[in-house]
Chains A and B, each alone.
Chain A
Amino acid sequence: MSAVATILKPIMSSSIQSQGTAEVHPDVLLVERARQGDVAAYEKLVRQYDRQVFRIAQHIVQNREDAEDVVQDAFLKAYEKLDQFQGNSKFYTWLVRIAVNEALMRLRKRRTGKMVSIDEDVETEEGSMPRDLADWSPDPEALYGQSEMADILRKTIQGLPPGFRVVFVLRDVDGLSTEETAETLGLSIPAVKSRLLRARLQLRERLSRYFKKGEGNGSRAKLGQGGVK
């Protein structure tokens, strides 16, 4: 039996045993094959999660070239560390944790060595109480074209601190649970909940500038002038 198989066997056995008759997640089987050198199995994992990893990287580094590097480095590092994947969390959350760390390192390089953490700029009172309480148009998405809407959403979320952005994206866009988000980012559950609430409220407040009743064409001018601050 190879060294890899020796390491693998206890992990797989305990995983299957703990789940009783429950099916093993397909990712776990792909990881097992990849550990044994099956690059095609790893390619399936790359194809499954590359878009999400790219999205998370973009949200953190806010730069396409750096996001490309983060995707490459994260998948390569994950491949090198497959033996460390315990199987008691989802492969995706394990992978995202690696990608978030890579993205933060990339930011640090860009800022010439200044420390960057997921806690940066989160001590803000903004968003703790809604101010703009105007109702929105019944169908705000009809006010803007597809690319214009994407532009608004990008500009709006870019105004949030990175620690809020990444919690919002993992929890609300990717659909991870609060517990998975906390595990992925190395945060406590109360910290995730607090950041999520403030991220949601800040985004809502900023989007109100574009979506409130009677807006639309007027807001387009604002967008052109960099309306979200």
Chain B
Amino acid sequence: MTCTEFLAQLDDMLDQDAALPLRADLEEHLRECEHCEITLNTTRKTIQIYRSHEIYELPDDLRERLHQAILAKCRKC
């Protein structure tokens, strides 16, 4: 397996969607290729970091203001 072929299956590795025979090939490639191992690990970390940090907080006061505005309009519908 080449690095390009590995990369094409990267999402399946990340999402654990790869079927068993393909998964074995991918894991064998990983054992021999440090670059692809780094790419997999750091891409996995990228997803985890974005998942664990809320970068667009909705402050409570704004949230309440939005609720009041939305529900007031709904009541007029």
Contacts and interface: CB of A to CB of B under 8 A. Distances in A.
A204 B75 contact: no
A226 to B, nearest CB: 17
B69 interface: yes
A157 interface: yes
B58 A54 contact: yes
Contact of A50 (B46, B47, B63): B63
B42 A76 contact: no
Q: Which of B4, B41, B42, B73 has the most CB of A within 10 A?
A: B42
Contacts of B51: 172-173
A70 to B, nearest CB: 11
A113 B66 CA distance: 27
B1 interface: no
The A interface, classified by DSSP as helix, strand, loop or mixed, is: helix
Given A153-B55, A173-B50, A42 B11 contact: no
Interface stretch (A5-13, A98-106, A114-122, A129-137): A129-137
A50 B38 CA distance: 36
A150 interface: yes
Contacts of A107: none
Interface in B25-61: 35, 38-39, 41-43, 45-47, 49-51, 53-56, 58
Interface in A21-72: 39, 42-43, 46-47, 50-51, 54-55, 58-59, 67-68, 71-72
B45 A200 contact: no
A92 interface: no
Contacts of A146: 53
A123 interface: no
Contacts of A204: 39, 42-43, 46
A96 interface: no
Given A55-B56, A79-B77, A150-B55, A129 B47 contact: no
28 contacts: A47-B67, A55-B58, A59-B56, A75-B70, A76-B73, A76-B74, A79-B77, A80-B77, A130-B7, A133-B38, A135-B41, A136-B41, A136-B42, A140-B45, A141-B49, A146-B53, A150-B54, A153-B50, A157-B50, A168-B50, A193-B11, A197-B11, A201-B10, A201-B43, A203-B50, A204-B43, A207-B46, A207-B49
